[in-house]
Structure 1
Amino acid sequence: MATAPVMKEAPARSALLSADALSVTFPGRRGGPAARAVDGVDLEVGAGEIVALVGESGCGKTTLARALLGLVAPTAGRVVFAGEPLGYGARALKAYRRRVQLVLQDPSGSLNPRHTVYEAVAEGLRIHGRTQDEHGAVAQALARAGLRPPERFFLRYPHELSGGQRQRVVIAGALALRPELLVADEPVASLDASVRGEILSLLLSLRAELGLSALVVTHDLGLAWNIADRVAVMYLGRIVECGPVEEVLSSPRHPYTRALLSVLPESDGPPVVLAGEPPDPARVPGGCRFHARCQVLASGEADRAGVAHACRTRDLPVLPGAGPHAAACHWARER
């Protein structure tokens, strides 16, 4: 397993952002059953903590992130920030988004090609009426994002920047409002490998310098190892394993996490090829929601452990949002 590029400091553990029994459903097609995109999730991000939310495409992690940002109203459950439930009125959401900022995957799509770097970073300040020292705030945000001297970038346009510089501009736009938490959706997926480490190191340095918390949404467990304090593995709308990153990724307990780790270059054994595609979120199977693709059940190990029937028929409880290493798996609980 790759080592972290920057030494991570132990963060404070008071909850800053939490999901409490959060569910998000979308209407089914042609009157069919509703799709359970997020299906009962407890998740916490502590003050000064970086949490990685990982899983394959379609597992619900982006919908969960959007719900935590207030971009999607939950069907059930609630989002709590700094001890207060999130309100969905225009004024409450505007105040919330000063404190929680989004960093998107594709910096080219995030930046208006007709706006200069200065205008891109100043946009949030203007929306929130924080223009008293706009020039100084833009310069400070760009410098903190690693674009120095900042004045050199003020009048440049996105097409004049490298991919890494564009992503730093997006991060600077988030930093301009001095948020307490960043939600980064695949923040390095569109960047060259040589630049990814720089952006990850930047996020870690921002945590060290500013006390920023972050929720990093990714399909890349290697990225999670390099940046996160804790990791939450999501499958079919629910967290199936969570805990300190070193424990989860060094000693995974859930067969799904083991399968994801098996395809990393650093993995010792052969890759685990999961059968079929993830089930339709409108038709979540009974029992463990992973059982139809589970290599432990298919190999007979679950039978030998005496849990095969439970795997197929008995649902598992929602994992707690924080705490020790835990997995929603009948087989793991018997080991």
Structure 2
Amino acid sequence: MSTRPPVLSAEELRVVFPGRRGAPSARAVDGVDLAIGAGEIVALVGESGCGKSTLARALLGLVEPTSGVVSFGGRPLSYGTRALKEYRRRVQLVLQDPSGSLNPRHTVYEAVAEGLRIHGRGGDERAAVADALAQAGLRPPERFFLRYPHELSGGQRQRVVIAGALVLRPEVIIADEPVASLDASVRGEILALLLRLREELGVAALVVTHDLGLAWNIADRVAVMYLGRIVESGPVEDVLTDARHPYTRALLSVLPESAEPPAILTGEPPDPSRIPQGCRFHIRCPSLTSGEAAGAGVAERCRTEEPELLGGVACHLR
């Protein structure tokens, strides 16, 4: 957990989607505890389909949890229309694909001003839009007012999306794969922008990603998610230099700078409607197939008992 006072947190959060035509329900988020401290950047890491985006949507109030509590500033989130509107002003979303986030018929000015108009913010709209664009690195901002998305580069479009979030002066940004669709040359610029926003404005961020290398470059803490649960979490330096969960070690082993041989995980993550008994990772776990778990006397527990998240790791071996 964060050592800073949490601005946004989840406690025992569960999101279950009912199955169709009698099929089993899918446990997309299955008992997650997560806290984001004021001015802190947390990376939420895992493979596609592990529940990261569903957790992000629940934290935004876009999905009401089946059970558990989302709290903002220490107060449980209310799901009334007026309360959610105020909440979403203070907690903003930045999506992966800037082209899909921007209306091609709207100018940059209209795209950034839209949030101000929805939330009925008073004051000088033109000045607020210019300030947000400048903070997002589009200078001079007036030069971009009348441009359309197709006239911008991918990096510039992502900066417009970020400006649209910043114009409401949020306390938290939830960024879902914010650089996945960008060229490598632009990725570093957007990551540096997020770090600068934290330093200059005190904005906290949850960065949802499948890329542990990105987490290393931007995050204070990292939470690794697998099949709906957090399996390892802690300060980014601790987790990424001394990973204790076999899943985290496997993710790290495929990074280009890794000194370890790539760990090949067999098969795909199980269907969240058919989560296996015991440790939900055990059917793909290299420590179980190699005999390490048997040597430690925990192989049977791996197959039959769900490990708790203790000391930042959910693994019978640790």
Instruction: Name the TM tier (shorter chain).
Output: over 0.9
Q: How does 1:107-118 map to 2 (within 5 A)?
A: 107-118=98-109
Query: Which residue among 78, 100, 120 is the counterpart of 2:91?
Result: 100
Q: TM-score, normalised by structure 1?
A: 0.93
Query: Which residue among 125, 134, 154 is the counterpart of 1:134?
Result: 125
Letter in 2 for 1:100: V
In the other structure, the counterpart of 1:65 is 56
The Cα shift of 1:131 comes to 4.0
Q: How does 1:139-288 map to 2 (within 5 A)?
A: 139-288=130-279
Give SS of 1:38's match: strand
The Cα shift of 1:12 comes to 7.0
CA distance in 2, matches of 1:79, 1:37: 16
In the other structure, the counterpart of 1:6 is none
Measured against aligned partners, the alpha-carbon deviations of 1:273-316 in whole angstroms (never above 9, x if no partner) come to 10111111111111100000000000000000111011011112
In the other structure, the counterpart of 2:27 is 36
CA distance in 2, matches of 1:108, 1:282: 33
CA distance in 1, matches of 2:312, 2:5: 19
CA distance in 2, matches of 1:185, 1:220: 12
Q: Cα distance 1:12–1:299, how it changes in 2: closer, same or farther (>3 A)?
A: closer
Letter in 1 for 2:193: L
CA distance in 2, matches of 1:135, 1:175: 14
CA distance in 2, matches of 1:12, 1:77: 22
CA distance in 2, matches of 1:146, 1:134: 19
Give SS of 1:66's match: helix
In the other structure, the counterpart of 1:4 is none
CA distance in 2, matches of 1:278, 1:151: 48
Measured against aligned partners, the alpha-carbon deviations of 1:58-106 in whole angstroms (never above 9, x if no partner) come to 0000000000000000000010000110010100100001100000000
Q: TM-score, normalised by structure 2?
A: 0.98
Give SS of 1:80's match: strand
Q: Does 1:315 align with 2:306?
A: yes
The Cα shift of 1:29 comes to 2.7
Measured against aligned partners, the alpha-carbon deviations of 1:172-211 in whole angstroms (never above 9, x if no partner) come to 0000000000000000000000000000000000000000
In the other structure, the counterpart of 1:89 is 80
Give SS of 1:16's match: strand
Letter in 2 for 1:77: G
Give SS of 2:21's match: helix
Percent identical pairs in the alignment equals 78
CA distance in 1, matches of 2:189, 2:219: 15
Letter in 2 for 1:265: P
- Is the CA contact (8 Å cut-off) linking 1:12 and 1:47 kept in structure 2? no
CA distance in 1, matches of 2:212, 2:51: 16
The Cα shift of 1:132 comes to 2.3
Note the residue ranges of structure 2 that are not aligned, 5 or more in a row. none
Q: How does 1:1-80 map to 2 (within 5 A)?
A: 13-80=4-71
CA distance in 2, matches of 1:260, 1:232: 13
The Cα shift of 1:124 comes to 0.1
RMSD of Structure 2 on Structure 1 (CA): 1.0
In the other structure, the counterpart of 1:331 is 317
Measured against aligned partners, the alpha-carbon deviations of 1:22-69 in whole angstroms (never above 9, x if no partner) come to 000001132121100000000000001000000000000000000000
Note the residue ranges of structure 1 that are not aligned, 5 or more in a row. 1-10
CA distance in 2, matches of 1:316, 1:77: 19
Give SS of 1:330's match: coil
Q: Cα distance 1:306–1:12, how it changes in 2: closer, same or farther (>3 A)?
A: closer
Letter in 2 for 1:258: R
